[in-house]
Amino acid sequence: MTDFQIPITALYVGLNGLIALALAYLVTRRRQATKVGFGDGGKPEMLQAIRVQGNFVEYVPIALLFVFVLELMQAPLWLLHGLGAALTIGRVAHAQGLSSSTGQTVGRGVGTALTWLVYLVGAVACLYYALG
């Protein structure tokens, strides 16, 4: 094993990877139920499942990149775990909220707020360490 280790990033990549897999499974299951092999087939429930997964995929990579870069920069553990936990909790809340309704839900609101907080804190912290 090398001296180069990023256990905190690995933890949150692993957790969010499992969430991504679960969301992909739910899309596949919805495809089987609706018999839609491609796209949404004009079915709102199919579009909803696709967007739950899509929203996750749109936000998580850059947020995990913040954790990765900050871990490389030896940022404090509380910051790394704060970002990783907020991201993971936020994305689960958002997925649950959007899965239950395409309208406003507490889960969507909490998930969006936590994710945007991760983006703001992660971006500012990266700039701080880069310019530090």
What's the rounded Cα separation, in Å, for the pair 35 and 45?
Answer: 12
- pLDDT score, position 1: 57
pLDDT of residue 3: 78
Closest C-alpha among 69, 53, 63 to residue 19: 53
What pLDDT digit, counting tens, does each position of 69-86 carry? 999 999 999 999 999 999
Domains of the chain are: 7-131 (1.20.120.550)
Question: What is the distance between the alpha carbons of residues 16 and 44, in angstroms, rounded to a whole number?
Answer: 26
Q: Which two tokens stand for residue 3?
A: 């001296």
> Taking the model in full, what pTM does it have?
0.93
Place of tokens 């871990």: 71
What pLDDT, on a 0 to 100 scale, did the predictor assign at position 125? Answer: 98
pLDDT reported for residue 70: 98
% of residues, the chain, pLDDT over 90: 88
Length of the chain: 132
Nearest to 80 by CA among 24, 30, 11, 33: 11
**What is residue 132's predicted lDDT score, i.e. its pLDDT?**
87
Low-confidence ranges of the chain (pLDDT < 50): none
Whole-number pLDDT of residue 103: 87
